[in-house]
Amino acid sequence: MTMKTRYPLIILLNAAGLALFLSWYLPVNHGFWFPIDSGIFHFFNQKLVESRAFLWWVAITNNRAFDGCSLLAMGG
C-alpha cells in the first residue's frame, strides 16, 4: 500500500486558514468580523443574565476540575 501525499491540498488549506486569521487580525477594529464577534458575545452574555441555570452550566463547564473529568471520560 502506497501512501499518497496531498501537499497542494495541505498548502491550500493552510493558506486559507492564514488568510482567514489575517482578515480578522489586521484590520482596525477587526474589520467586518467585529459585528459578528459582537453579536455572538452579546447573544451569549444576554442568555447568562436571563437564565440562572445557563449561568451555572457555563460556570461549571469552564472549571479546571470539569476539564479533568472530561479528559478522564474521553479515556485520556
Look at the alpha carbons of 19, 25, 30, 36 in this order and tell me if their dihedral is positive or negative: positive
End-to-end CA distance of the chain: 31
Q: Name the CA dihedral angle for 32, 41, 50, 70, rounded to a multiple of 10 degrees.
A: 140
Instruction: Indicate if the pLDDT at residue 75 is higher than 90.
Output: no
63 — pLDDT class (breaks 50, 70, 90)? confident
Residues 6+ apart with CB under 8 A from 54: 47, 48
Spatial distance between the Cα atoms of 12 and 52, rounded to a whole number of angstroms: 45
Mean pLDDT of 13-21: 97
> Which pLDDT score is estimated for 76?
65
Prediction pTM value: 0.57
